[in-house]
Structure 1
Amino acid sequence: MDRGKYNIKAVAALVGLNPTTIRAWERRYQVLDPDRSESGHRIYSDNDVAKLRWIVDKQKEGLSVSKAIQLYEMPVNRTEVPIDYGIELRDQLFEALTNFEERHAHDIMNKAFSMFSFDKVIQDIVGPLLHEIGMRWEKGTITIAHEHFATAFLRARLSTLSLQMPINPFLPRILCVCAPEEEHELGLLFFTLYLRQSGFDVIFLGAGIPVPDLVTVTKQLTPRAVVLSCTISDHLKDLDEAIDQIQKQAPQTEIGLGGYAVEQHPEKYGDMLLGSDDNAWKSWLSRLTPTTGV
């Protein structure tokens, strides 16, 4: 029999949790049923420690505590549990969206949010999914109809959640819009979610609008920056006109650029380019918040 031999402070040190968290898990999830010493204090066994370590490891992978406990209790060999179930959900979501199965896609998203934290869903499921859909469209293995359906679904599903993210009052407003005539919103949608997670006040306009309308909206909203996305090279001429007009009529507004088309011309667009990863985005955004950072 595996008898208890560790007090709660020892267990906390062994598994990297604080005693308050361990007690909360016991109450909420009945994760452990420790023995009691003669004086009534909890004493934990080696099995208790191993179980907590397993749950903590799964939590670091992105699982919620309740899901990790559920998986632990499953009557299967734990080595058979997928290392990252998020990958499996991402593949399922891709199949559902490219087969226009909206209800099934909603079910998969519900499952993802029930299992993982919001950050995990966005960074490890939605982000790579958006990239995969964009890449498949560029290669011609899916149509623009598939891309538009996926974009509309994800935008509708995530817009409500993103509005629940708190805005940092010390961070400025950013306007996000595609280049004039540009309709490919996927990359811009993901960047918008990144901004909202970081606390920025974001206005997402999506598909491109004519240059005069874009200038009018920019002057009305007075954002600290306008982020424009351009995927198709044929739209670069209109993009250049938009940049020129914003710089002339709203000279205090920073301009950020992303998308395949502009990334092919680093010598032309220079420090307006946002880059393609978290570190590059943070570096570009730091110019908007010189005193507080991102």
Structure 2
Amino acid sequence: MARQYINAYTFTPEAALATLMGIGILFVIILFFIRKWQKSDGFNTGTMLKILGSSLFMFVISMLLIGFLTALAFDTVERNFNPQTLTISLFSHFLDGFIYSSFFLAYYYYQDNIKKQQKLASYNEALSESKINQLKKQLNPHFLFNNLNVLDQLIEEDKDKASDFLNEFAEIYRYVLQSTDKELVRIEEEIVFARQYFKLIHYKYGNAYQLKIENKSINGFIVPMTLQLLLENAVQHNLGTKENPVCIEIKTEADIFVSNNINLKRNVKPTSGRALKNLKEQYGLLSGKPIEINQIDNIFSVRVPIINNQNT
């Protein structure tokens, strides 16, 4: 268009190479202004437009300067820099600069956004892992403290039972120490642990609390000590007797459902609810699926999501 005619030269490698060199100059100019003005990590429309406008201006000036020096060297200034040809050249350089710089900036900010998202994901993963470890450190002493209280009461009531309780507790606590380093455990392992833990409850309360487990052998993972915490919660808040026992039921389906009939203790000590709250936070961090707590009529139930991927 600048020369007002098309011939075979237009389609030669030399012509394409000249265009490539011009675009290379444009990209260098854009990168210079990006490093100069793009200080913040976030995308800023005003800064982007400033970079685009300045890059276009510098590109057009640079191309005209290169064209003028080339014309001066070959003594063709008058032919290539008359008003009509100059106007066409200005429009051509501006159009090329606008198209290529738009594509370049779109690609640059897209790649920059991907890098920021990857950094953010890595940061959130590290933060989640750190927070989960903190929550586990809180749950572990909670388990130990509650069962030592039970042991203390059994020692006063029945030393033989206290001795058996201590042996069972030692085996169970070994599992607790092993699972502390794991984010998730298999459902089967946790159900076995729940059965063992309920033996400790039976030592103290006998048949006042009863456990029924319907396990369909579903593959999947849950947070360690989830079922133990829910069993403990049912015993802590409900009064069971031989005549009117508290029946706790665990069902494994698409999710795990833990339910019990309600018979609230009258003089129960107020609790902070920290253990259950910590458990909710762990499921939120590991799976993004909340634990659902419901109370319908005389039944208290908790739905625990099954995590299918151990690396979730």
TM range (shorter): under 0.3
Q: Whose radius of gyration is greater, 1 or 2?
A: 2
TM-score, normalised relative to structure 2: 0.25
TM-score, normalised relative to structure 1: 0.26
Structure number with the bigger relative contact order (C-alpha 8 A, sep ≥ 6) is 2
